[in-house]
Structure formats: structure tokens, C-alpha cells
Structure 1
């Protein structure tokens, strides 16, 4: 990779790691539904200037509900209900585990031995983390957070069906498809008056966090990531995502004073290690078709 593109890959990982901290700050003023709706509304602004990509509405909605709505709404709910930011950033990256598992089931992509070992290592790490649940946040919050990597994985596979679409245009319209139901959910769950009050009384700090989440972390970062995946093999680009949980955990410890017990820290490092094994493994081979 060119030095400039390496810098971009690292920059995207840093942006995504800091986005967990921005989400935590914004959630002090907004409900998870409203915060997520505003995030995608800001990211959907380019829809005013770009045409809808040549992707059917059912596929567009399916990708949006999994890759964006399901993933980020689950994150927001979990963080709002006490799951530490650094831990959240690690759990979300376990999507690699679920992506490989779902690809084997749906596309019959047989994982390599190295990938299987990575899945096993990451699973052990998740079990170690699960052993710390119930002390500083609830089992229910952890269960909600686990929806995020599962939705992420489903969205990854659904995104394959949109090959050939312009990345920037596609992600803008995916954000729009997520923002509409999220606003509806916010109005139903919070009520029109509380929703309006939250919108009109948001602080400058909360607004800055939303602009970062929507304009930078979602719109710009996803576009840059898509360009890298277009120009280089995935094996060269995807490992940079391993920086995200490190950035998220470090930023959370600095901003919120987040600390990790020995078992949780060991579990987090084990998950990251398993993900590294999965990402650095050779590409899985498709199972032969039977007559």
C-alpha cells in the first residue's frame, strides 16, 4: 500500500475508535433511538446531491437494517445501559467471527484451519468477557450488545449483493433508509414532545459529537474505507480494523477513566487475537457443488 493510503487506513481506524467515545457523550443528552437517527440523518445529507445507486429497494433496506440500524442501535442501547465504551469496541469487532460462520452456512465458504482456530480463540475470549458480566453492567445489556456484531456480519454478507454500486452513493442511501425508521421508533418510544425537547435543547458538545458521528465517522470514514477496499485486496486493508478496539479502549480510559479487570482484559485481548488470526488467514475456499 502507498504511504498515503496506509495513513488513511490508520486514520479511519482512529475515527471509528473515537466514535465510541462520541456516542457515549451524545447519549448523555439523547435517547439511543434519537441519537442513532440523528447520526444517520446527518450522514444521509449527500442523498440530496447523488442519485440512488442501481440497487433494488428491498436489498437496500435489507443492507441498511442490518449493517447500520441493527448494528448501531444495539451499540447505543448497550452503551446507554452501562456497557463500557472500550469493551463495546472490542465486542463489535467480533463481527469477523460471525461473518465467517454465516458465510459458511449461506455461501458454503469452508473456513480454513487457521480461520477455524481464530474463531475458537475469539469465542474463548467472548466467554471470558461473559464471565465478568453482572458486576458493572447487566446481562441484558450485554445480550443487546451482542446483537451488534451479529447484525454487522449479516450486513457484510448482504452488501455482497450490491457489487458494482458506487460506495459513496450507496452508503448515503443506506443511511437514509436507516434514519426514517429510527426517527419513527424515537417518536413512538420517547413521544413527540420529549423528542422535540431533546432536539431543541442539545448542547454544543452533543451537537459536535453528532456531527462527528454522522459527517465524519459514518459518511467520510465509510467512503474512505470503501475506496481502500476498491483499490487494494481485502487482506491488506481489513487488518487495520484491529486498531479500532485499541483506540476505543485507550480513548475511553482517558476520557471516562475506564478500567479493566484481569479477566476482562485477558478476554478482550483474546478476542482481538482471535480476530487477528481470522483476518490474516488465507481466503476460505467454497465447498464443491453437488449434483
Structure 2
């Protein structure tokens, strides 16, 4: 219905700040083996996540897991772990290693666009005009953010006079 809670907004802001800090840590680490760095940095995340889940929900989720695990769930987890997390973050961290964070980070704005494209391809969803407008605004925002100064300079550059 479009309503949001203060807790939800705060969690989104904490997530964005965490994403930024993680990008800076990856950049400052100057690691040679980006994939190994990713695997080892991901090895410790499940421990606090399981502890947080247990603190919030108790053991209900773990007992339900045993009765609800099936092939679809296992394949979904494997997809989330391998191509979605390891491969995608390996590419992302490789970009951070090569380029400045200010150049790479705005590309994360493309995530909703690929999400919409995926829903069209996989689920045959329609794309209303409002979503097309949102995609156009995102791409224009990226173009201005990444290339705005170059475009401005090219449009308003004064011709150089050569003396004879």
C-alpha cells in the first residue's frame, strides 16, 4: 500500500551505510586474490546471523527447516550462494579493486532495472509506464552522475583559437 515504518526506513539506511563501509573495506584491503578474500570474509557472516535469528524468533525457524526442506529449497540456496553471491560479488570486488569506489558504486543503481527485466523474462510480468519512467530516470541519473561533467564540458566548451 506504499506505507513504510520508521524501523523499515532505519534498516534500509543502516543497510546502505553497511554496503558503503564494505565497499571501502574491500577497496582499502588491496587484496591480490579477490575471490579468496570474498570467501573468507563470507565465512563468518552465518554465525551472527543465526544468533540474531535465534534471539528474535527462537528455535521455531530451525524446527520448521527440517520439515520444509526440499529440492527447490536446496537449489534456491545453492543459487543464492554460488552464482548470485560468490560470482556476483567477485565481479563487484574486482571492479572495486580496479576502479575508484565513486565510479563503481553508482552502478548498484542498476539492480532494480535488472530485477524488473528478470521478472519480465522469468515471470512474464508486464511493465507499466510508471516503471519505464523509473528506469529512464535511473539511467539518466547514472549518466549525469558518471558523465555529467564531461557532457557539460563538451556542450559548453569554447573553441580554441589558433594564432597564425
- TM class by shorter chain equals 0.5 to 0.7
Structure 1 residue 161: Cα displacement:
2.4
Distance 1:233 1:153, change over 3 A: closer
Residue ranges of structure 1 left out of the alignment (5+ in a row): 1-134, 283-291
| SS class of match (2:43) | helix
Counterpart among 34, 55, 75 of residue 188 in structure 1: 55
- Is the counterpart of residue 138 in structure 1 residue 3 in structure 2? yes
Counterpart among 138, 143, 159 of residue 271 in structure 1: 138
Structure 1 residue 191: Cα displacement:
1.4
Superposed CA RMSD = 3.4
Q: Would you say how many aligned residue pairs link Structure 1 and Structure 2?
A: 144
Greater Rg, structure 1 or structure 2? 2
Distance 1:279 1:200, change over 3 A: farther
Aligned to 1:210: 77
Aligned to 2:123: 255
Larger relative CO (CA 8 A, sep 6+): 1 or 2?
Answer: 1
Counterpart among 12, 15, 21 of residue 148 in structure 1: 15
Whether the 8 Å CA contact 1:242–1:276 is kept in 2: the answer is: no
Aligned to 2:156: none
Distance 1:204 1:213, change over 3 A: same
1: distance between equivalents of 2:48 and 2:32?
23
| SS class of match (2:44) | helix
Structure 1 residue 183: Cα displacement:
0.9
Distance 1:241 1:200, change over 3 A: same
2: distance between equivalents of 1:217 and 1:242?
17
2: distance between equivalents of 1:227 and 1:265?
31
Whether the 8 Å CA contact 2:39–2:86 is kept in 1: the answer is: yes
Distance 1:166 1:268, change over 3 A: same
1: distance between equivalents of 2:74 and 2:17?
29
